[in-house]
């Protein structure tokens, strides 16, 4: 199967990490993995794991980004992906507008992921136009169902996990701890849980 994921850029963050991890898993399972974005430091990791990164400036939330509709249409016609996974609103708009001029029988299935509780606007509603929607939590699923006319069966909750090997436990340096407790003295002698 050929899967194209679309997101603004590949810097750092949950959306980006999830995209790279999912792409690596697709390759391990024998699928063809493509990611389209503005690029960033994680693009090299993506390529090193066997996916192809396609540079396209689909990151700006401005009308200028709509200049990417024709290049996206060309990309979709060339790649012929089976599934397009949109992970952000502006890339979703560009992809949906590009797909409008492609015959329905030649279009890929589209999946979107609600990574959070987007503002309830026509701009955000584009994420509900996918064939199927992923919500990263039950809370996000409830938010989508309460704010958009989406049937329950069109949504699947896939909890966002973390690759624990990427966050290995190790001793913190004494310099780091000294700085930490100077900045947050109220945390001395307390149990601390830190999120990655």
- Whether residue 21 lies inside any domain: the answer is yes
- Main-chain dihedrals φ then ψ at residue 162, nearest 5 degrees: -140, 140
Task: Note the pLDDT tens digit of each residue in 85-142.
Answer: 999 999 999 999 999 999 999 999 999 999 999 999 999 999 999 999 999 999 999 9
Helix 69-79 with 89-100: angle, nearest 10 deg: 70
Residue-level pLDDT at 177: 85
In a domain, 56, yes or no: yes
- The answer to whether position 189 is within a domain reads no
pLDDT at residue number 61: 83
Q: Give the domain range for residue 79.
A: 2-169
Between CA 152 and CA 128 the distance in angstroms is: 12
What pLDDT, on a 0 to 100 scale, did the predictor assign at position 163? 64
Q: How many Cα atoms within 13 Å fall on the side-chain side of residue 188? A: 7
**Number of separate domains in the chain:** 1
Instruction: Report if residue 104 sits inside a domain.
Output: yes
Residue 124 belongs to domain with CATH number: 3.40.50.2000
Q: Is residue 59 part of a domain?
A: yes
35 within 8 A of 136, measured Cβ to Cβ: no
Domain contains 99: yes
Average pLDDT over residues 20-28: 94
**What is the rounded CA–CA span in Å between residue 177 and residue 189?**
12
pLDDT-derived band at 168, boundaries 50, 70, 90: low
Q: Give 37's strand partners.
A: 55
Asked whether residue 166 carries a pLDDT value surpassing 70, the answer given is no
How much is the pLDDT for 71?
97
Instruction: Examine residue 175 and state whether it is found in any structural domain, yes or no.
Output: no
Report pLDDT for 192. 79
The answer to whether position 118 is within a domain reads yes
Q: Rounded to an integer, what is the distance from CA 42 to the centroid of its chain?
A: 13
Q: Find all residues with CB under 8 Å of 126, minimum gap 6, and list them.
A: 89, 92, 93, 96
């Amino acid at each position: 199967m050929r899967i194209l994921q679309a997101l603004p850029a590949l810097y750092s963050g949950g959306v980006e990490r999830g995209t790279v991890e999912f792409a690596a898993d697709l390759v391990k399972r024998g699928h063809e993995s493509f990611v389209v974005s503005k690029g960033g430091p994680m693009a090299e990791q993506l390529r090193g794991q066997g996916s192809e990164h396609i540079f396209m400036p689909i990151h700006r939330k401005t009308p200028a980004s709509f200049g990417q509709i024709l290049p996206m249409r060309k990309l979709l016609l060339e790649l012929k992906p089976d599934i397009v996974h949109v992970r952000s609103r502006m890339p979703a708009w560009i992809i949906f507008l590009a797909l409008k001029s492609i015959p329905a029988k030649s279009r890929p299935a589209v999946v979107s992921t609600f990574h959070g509780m987007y503002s309830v606007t026509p701009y955000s509603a584009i994420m509900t136009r996918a064939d199927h929607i992923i919500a990263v939590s039950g809370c996000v699923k409830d938010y989508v169902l309460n704010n958009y006319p989406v049937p329950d069966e069109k949504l699947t909750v896939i909890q966002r996990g973390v690759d624990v090997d990427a966050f290995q436990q190790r001793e913190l340096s004494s310099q780091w701890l000294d700085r930490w407790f100077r900045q947050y003295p109220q945390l001395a002698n307390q149990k601390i849980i830190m999120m990655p």
